[in-house]
């Protein structure tokens, strides 16, 4: 079944579609029912967009927040694990469900999706310009894993890519991160599972981008799909440019994503 508004935490996350006229040829589908993938999302703190940051909502736009966090805005909340901790396929689909609910959000250097800085707030320039709410690649990945599973990841792409263990807020357990080196395209793609995180390096050889693998959750086109918060410039199966922000994008054999992938992280075992 394909995702729909009633099949996601969309109402709670309240994404702002920066380019509403774009029609993607891609979508997502799931094998597990919606009530399992979205369990607890109708409860606090998941159901309240004002709870997305560690800073209380009434302080999101204060001078103290501006002075401390600048253009990034308030840091993301560390969500608790679900009451019934999902494992394996269900955990993977839960992560993809949250990621897909944010499709349309702009690319901005912010920590949380609902933060909308006023016009006079400091701004870190991006290709799409100043357009209110948004997230960058590693903050998007970190927020999705935290919201879906209570897994706490670093939000800087360098620190996130070097992680060996992920932790869960409010608990003593941690998950060993499995590292899957990139190599032959076909062999590498065959090893990946939905919700694996892929890291790409820049021309300078430094890890600079992160994407979430969709695998068989991705639908459309003839190549594998990923979901990420990117800066634009990719072409979809209909030969249209994919706008900046949280979008589904193709992972083509000869494309930059595949050519630049260093390795993948598997947070969810099994």
Displacement of CA 180 from its chain's centroid (Å): 19
Assign 15 a pLDDT band (cuts: 50, 70, 90): confident
Residues 6+ apart with CB under 8 A from 179: 263, 264, 265, 266
Residue-wise pLDDT for 227-260, tens only, equals: 999 998 899 999 999 999 999 999 999 999 999 9
CB 28 within 8 A of CB 214: yes
Task: Using DSSP bridges, classify how beta strands 106-107 and 134-135 pair: parallel, antiparallel or unpaired.
Answer: parallel
What whole-number distance in Å separates Cα of residue 212 and Cα of residue 102?
13
pLDDT of 58 > 50? The answer is yes
Provide mean pLDDT across the span 145-163.
Answer: 91
CB 157 within 8 A of CB 208: yes
Assign 132 a pLDDT band (cuts: 50, 70, 90): confident
Displacement of CA 238 from its chain's centroid (Å): 24
pLDDT computed for residue 165 by the predictor: 55
Query: 57 burial class (0-12, 13-18, 19+ CB within 10 angstroms)?
Result: middle
Task: For 223-251, give the DSSP string.
Answer: S-EEEEEE-S-EE-TTSPEEPSEEEEEE-
CB 3 within 8 A of CB 97: yes
Provide mean pLDDT across the span 88-92.
Answer: 97
Displacement of CA 44 from its chain's centroid (Å): 21
Provide mean pLDDT across the span 73-87.
Answer: 93
Torsion angle of the four alpha carbons 18, 96, 27, 157, in this order, in degrees rounded to the nearest 10: 50
Residue scoring higher pLDDT (19 or 12):
19
DSSP 134: E
What whole-number distance in Å separates Cα of residue 161 and Cα of residue 10?
28
pLDDT computed for residue 198 by the predictor: 97
pLDDT computed for residue 129 by the predictor: 80
Instruction: Pick the closest to residue 195 from 87, 110, 42, 106 (CA basis).
Output: 87
pLDDT computed for residue 170 by the predictor: 42
pLDDT of 103 > 90? The answer is yes
pLDDT of 99 > 90? The answer is yes
| Lowest-pLDDT range of 13-27, 48-62, 86-100, 193-207 | 13-27
pLDDT of 16 > 90? The answer is no
| Lowest-pLDDT range of 8-12, 133-137, 193-197, 209-213 | 8-12
Q: How many helices (H) and strands (E) would you count in the chain?
A: 8, 15
Q: What is the CATH number of domain 5-18+26-266?
A: 3.90.1720.10
pLDDT of 171 > 90? The answer is no
pLDDT computed for residue 87 by the predictor: 93
The share of the chain scoring above pLDDT 70, in percent, equals 91
pLDDT computed for residue 216 by the predictor: 97
Output helix, strand, coil percentages for the chain, rounded to the nearest 5: 25, 20, 50
pLDDT of 42 > 70? The answer is yes
């Amino acid at each position: 079944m394909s995702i729909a508004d009633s099949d996601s935490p969309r109402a709670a996350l309240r994404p702002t579609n920066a380019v509403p006229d774009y029609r993607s040829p891609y979508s997502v589908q799931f094998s597990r029912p919606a009530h399992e993938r979205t369990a607890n999302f109708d409860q606090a703190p998941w159901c309240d967009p004002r709870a997305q940051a560690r800073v209380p909502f009434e302080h999101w736009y204060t001078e103290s927040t501006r002075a401390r966090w600048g253009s990034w805005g308030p840091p993301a909340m560390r969500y608790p694990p679900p009451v019934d901790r999902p494992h394996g396929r269900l955990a993977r689909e839960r992560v993809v469900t949250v990621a897909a609910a944010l499709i349309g959000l702009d690319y901005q250097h912010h920590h949380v999706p609902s933060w909308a800085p006023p016009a006079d707030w400091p701004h870190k320039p991006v290709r799409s310009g100043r357009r209110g709410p948004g997230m960058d690649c590693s903050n998007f990945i970190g927020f999705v894993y935290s919201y879906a599973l209570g897994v706490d990841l670093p939000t800087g792409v360098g620190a996130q890519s070097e992680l060996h263990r992920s932790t869960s807020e409010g608990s003593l357990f941690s998950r060993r991160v499995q590292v899957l080196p990139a190599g032959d395209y076909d062999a590498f793609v065959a090893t990946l599972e939905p919700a694996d995180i892929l890291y790409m390096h820049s021309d300078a050889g430094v890890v600079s981008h992160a994407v979430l693998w969709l695998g068989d959750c991705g639908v459309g086109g003839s190549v594998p799909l990923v979901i990420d918060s990117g800066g634009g410039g990719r072409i979809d199966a209909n030969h249209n440019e994919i706008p900046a922000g949280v979008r589904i994008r193709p992972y083509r054999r000869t494309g930059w994503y595949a050519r630049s992938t260093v390795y993948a992280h598997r947070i969810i075992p099994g």
